[in-house]
Structure 1
Amino acid sequence: MSCNRSCGLITGAVIGAVLAVFGGILVPVGDTLIKKTVKKEAALEEGTIAFKNWVKTDTRVYRQFWIFDVQNPEEVAVNSSKIKVKQRGPYTYRVPYLAKENITQDSETHTVSFVQPNGAIFEPSLSVGTEDDMFTVLNLAVVAAPQLYPNSFVQGILNSLIKKSKSSMFQNRTLKELLWGYTDPFLNLVPYPVATTVGVFYPYNNTADGVYKVFNGKDDISKVGIIDTYKGKKHLSYWASYCDMINGTDAALFPPFIEKTRVLQFFSPDICRSIYAVFAAEMNLKGIPVYRFILPSSAFASPLQNPDNHCFCTEKIISKNCTLYGVLDIGKCKEDNWIHFTVYKTAADQYTG
């Protein structure tokens, strides 16, 4: 009995020791195998899980709009009264949802190039109305024309064309027209070769952003998705100093093995600058522990609140000498779209008036 008990104890101790040894060996081996698999599948090359999800993501990304509907257009236009507006929204669109195109691998630089087609799909369930909702807003073409052509003789001609087209400072437009474009009756009469389609985000649909060149991660997985060049350049030429840098990824993916302390950097062509996100909380997504990263308030703070943002301030009037939160002049970035620049400048002039 004593031997059996002693033998059992010895056997149990031996088995425990063996299992402990195997555990000490297998755990790091297992971690190594997992990391090796993740590195392989996270690279942006044909056949990997990351590549498939990167080309066309199933993740839904939404863009929401709030429109300021002018309540007293006649009083403003005739009597120069103080404008009264009513905020309406959100109106929600899903973007982007189209697959990347012109994907080209470069084995020497370990990069992959592509363009991202632009498109927006209206999401009624996440909106307060429809795309046919009507708004009273500034007439973009009418307010922009004096800024483009300051010569008094030319302005006289333009004023006659504005009257002939029955246009005025304000107009009624649907959400769809306002955002994505409409044919302007005043511009239709201009005897010069000018674009006649106007819209705050025109052209957007049926266009493409890029060319992007990003690292594919084959040589270094910590660089996967990080932008090497954008439109053939490593800098934007919009801002001064470090604000002009193209940092991080295009936000379609980030390198694996991210720690809470990491700052996630990415470039947004919509706002013409690089931005960043920081760790906010641990969450559970369908049984999987994940980290949630958010944009901190400091990212869009005024230079008064965050001195690091000083080189993003290029406009002094609307921003009240760079003291307002969230104001960003993207006129230089969008100068190929005259509406973005001239309406911004007109707003600045009206603000001072």
Structure 2
Amino acid sequence: MGCDRNCGLIAGAVIGAVLAVFGGILMPVGDMLIEKTIKKEVVLEEGTIAFKNWVKTGTEVYRQFWIYEVQNPQEVMVNSSNIKVKQRGPYTYRVRYLAKENITQDPEDHTVSFVQPKGAIFEPSLSVGTENDTFTVLNLAVAASAHLYPNAFVQAVLNSLIKKSKSSMFQTRTLKELLWGYKDPFLTLVPYPVPTTVGVFYPYNNTVDGVYKVFNGKDNISKVAIIDTYKGKRSIYAVFESDINLKGIPVYRFVLPSKAFASPVQNPDNHCFCTEKVISKNCTSYGVLDISKCKDGKPVYISLPHFLHASPDVSEPIEGLNPNEEEHRTYLDIEPITGFTLRFAKRLQVNMLVKPARKIEALKSLKRNYLVPILWLNETGTIGDEKAEMFRKQVTGKINLLGLVEMILLSVGVVMFVAFMISYCACRSKTVK
């Protein structure tokens, strides 16, 4: 009888130990098996679920625009006053709805290259007005002319054409014209061949963005879809900020650091963006990046909205700006197991440098340089409810279930082992007595 009882207790303890060991083994082995299963479907190669959704995203991506309307154009032109601006928006377009093209795998560095066809569809229900709303903004052609043609004689010729076309430092344009292009009256009078259509994003529709090169995830799942290069050059990076929950899915939030827009003195990686000593003050100003090389020499600069994280000298001549970390920063919410970006907000501001020009009447009264904000944009995309539910079932649900099974096995096993061993020891001590 005693033997049967002791044998039963030992058997129970052994079973408990086995369960605990099995639960412990299941943790790394199960995680490895699930990761292997997931990895097969999330790498960017023909035939995977990820590739299908990546080529043509099912997530709706919107680009919102806020236009900076100039409130005191005459004061600026005559007295070189601070520029008073007031933002108007949002005006919203749906973008990135076309499938990626020219997709090419590079097995050597585990990347995939592609171009993204451009298209924009206006969304009236998500906008404060129509594409025909008008704004008083900087005259892009006049502002760029002094920068592109510093020669006094050429400027004198251009001045006569600017006056003849009744152009000035500022102009009134519709939203559609400002964004996507308009025939500039001054440029149409230039006697030699020059592009006569001007717009912040002209040309856009029926063109492509890229070439992008992103990691396909075959060698490292955490790098899947992360941009390696854009047009063969260095891309802006993000850094980890916090863990958050997105529709029941744990994600890591990465943000664009202020260092990305730092001066070359603070961040040597930005040395190639310091090309204009007047605006950058011998490369000590920060918060803006010179992209004129990408814009055929036009003095275009990008920054965060409202000159967030910019040095005071950059925003000092502009009144009406209210930089706000929460509203104006860029971030990515990435699911850590698959590396998928489930939500993002890309926020950038487009600015143009305006300099005094002795021979151009529209600019000759200026006594200083201005970095004039034209507009800022917020491009956003969030995983839809249906896809989030599918993601929870296919990825996080399986992992959570496995984790629950592991913990139950481990807990029950340990409890059984300890309980049966205590009972066995107690019985043994009674038998000895």
Report the TM-score, using the length of structure 2 for normalisation: 0.61
Matches within 5 A, 1:171-210: 171-210=171-210
The answer for the alignment partner of 2:410 in structure 1 is none
Give the CA deviation at 1:101.
Answer: 0.8
Counterpart CA distance in 1 for 2:148 and 2:24 is 73
Q: CA deviation at 1:339?
A: 6.8
Does residue 66 (structure 1) correspond to residue 66 (structure 2)? The answer is yes
Structure 2: tracts of 5 or more residues without a match: 302-350, 358-365, 370-433
Task: Compute the displacement of 1:18 (Å).
Answer: 2.5
Residue of structure 2 equivalent to 1:46: 46
Q: Residue 127 and residue 347 in structure 1: after superposition, are their counterparts in 2 closer, same or farther (change >3 A)? A: farther
- When residues 282 and 150 of structure 1 are mapped into structure 2, their CA distance, relative to the original with a 3 A threshold, is closer
Residue 368 of structure 2 aligns to which amino acid in structure 1? T
Return the offset for 1:199.
0.8
Kindly provide the amino acid, as one letter, of the partner of residue 159 in structure 2. N
Counterparts in 2 of 1:4 and 1:288: CA distance versus 1, 3 Å: farther
Residue 67 of structure 2 aligns with an amino acid whose one-letter code is: I
1:347 to 1:75, Cα distance in 2 relative to 1, 3 A: same
Equivalent position amino acid for 1:346 in 2: V
Aligned to 1:318: 279
Q: Confirm whether residue 20 of structure 1 aligns to residue 52 of structure 2.
A: no
In the other structure, the counterpart of 2:241 is 280
The Cα of 1:331 is off from its aligned counterpart by 0.9
Deviation of the 1:223 alpha carbon:
5.4
Name the CA distance, whole Å, in 2 between partners of 1:154 and 1:314: 23
Give how far 1:61 is off. Answer: 4.6
Instruction: Calculate percent identity across the aligned residue pairs.
Output: 73
- The answer to whether residue 335 in structure 2 is matched with residue 327 in structure 1 is no
Contact 1:200 1:340 in 2 (8 A): no
In 1, distance between residues paired with 2:356 and 2:165? 26
* Superimposed CA distance per residue, residues 60-110 of structure 1 (whole angstroms, 9 cap, x where no aligned partner): 555444333222323444x33515422214434444332211223345665
* Matching of residue 346 in structure 1 with residue 354 in structure 2: yes
**Residue identity matched to 1:298:** K
**Alignment partner of 2:237: what SS?**
strand
- What's the offset of the Cα at 1:202? 1.4
2:171 is aligned with 1:164: no
Deviations 1:252-283 (A, max 9, x none): xxxxxxxxxxxxxxx2xxxxxxx222222211
For 1:247-286, what aligned pairs fall within 5 Å after superposition? 267=235, 275-286=236-247
Match of 2:9 in 1: 9
Change over 3 Å in CA distance of 1:157–1:277 after alignment to 2: closer
> Does structure 1 retain, via aligned residues, the 8 Å contact 2:105–2:111?
yes
What is the alpha-carbon distance in structure 2 between the residues aligned to residue 95 and residue 346 of structure 1? 30
Structure 1 residues 217 and 69: CA distance shift in structure 2, 3 A: closer
Whole-angstrom distance in 2 between the partners of 1:229 and 1:76: 41
Q: What is the rounded CA distance, in whole Å, between the counterparts of 2:268 and 2:145 in structure 1?
A: 36
Q: Secondary structure at the match of 2:116?
A: strand
Question: Which one-letter code corresponds to 1:300 in the other structure?
Answer: F
Q: What amino acid does structure 2 have at the position aligned with 1:118?
A: K
- What is the aligned partner in structure 1 of residue 132 from structure 2? 132
SS at match of 2:137: strand
The Cα offsets for residues 230-254 of structure 1, whole Å up to 9 and x where unpaired, read as: 54x4xx3xxxxxxxxx3xxxxxxxx
Label 1:223 to 1:98 Cα distance change in 2 as closer, same or farther (>3 A).
same
Are the equivalent residues in 2 in contact too, given 1:73–1:83 (CA < 8 A)? Answer: no
1:167 and 1:186 in contact (8 A); partners too:
yes
Distance 1:84 1:106 in 2: 49
Contact 1:318–1:348 (Cα < 8 Å) also in 2: no
Matches of 2:223 and 2:252, distance apart in 1: 20
Paired with 2:285 and 2:48, the residues of 1 have a C-alpha distance of 45
Aligned equivalents of 1:209, 1:348: Cα separation in 2: 34
Structure 1 residue 138: Cα displacement:
2.0
CA deviation after TM superposition for structure 1 residue 115, in Å = 0.9
Residue 262 of structure 2 corresponds to residue 293 of structure 1: no
- Structure 1 unaligned runs (5+)? 237-245, 247-266, 268-274
What are the Cα deviations for residues 131-152 of structure 1, in whole angstroms up to 9, with x where unaligned? 3321111222223334434455
CA distance change for structure 1 residues 7 and 293 in 2, over 3 Å: closer, same or farther? Answer: same
Greater shift in the superposed pair: 118-127 or 293-302: 118-127
Amino acid at match of 2:291: I
Question: Aligned equivalents of 1:177 and 1:316: distance in 2?
Answer: 32
SS in 2 for 1:85: strand
Match of 1:258 in 2: none
Aligned length: 310
SS at match of 2:212: strand
Equivalent pair of 2:146/2:355 in contact (CA under 8 Å): no
Q: How does 1:93-112 map to 2 (within 5 A)?
A: 93-107=93-107, 110-112=110-112
C-alpha distance in 1, partners of 2:285/2:89?
A: 23
Structure 1 contact 66–87 (Cα < 8 Å) conserved: no
Larger Rg: 2
3-state secondary structure, aligned to 2:240: strand
**Aligned ranges 1:148-159 → 2 under 5 Å:** 148-152=148-152, 154-159=154-159
C-alpha separation between the residues in 2 aligned to 1:141 and 1:175?
17
Q: Provide the rounded CA distance (Å) in 2 between the counterparts of 1:186 and 1:14.
A: 90
Displacement, 1:172?
0.6
Letter in 1 for 2:87: R
TM-score (norm 1): 0.73
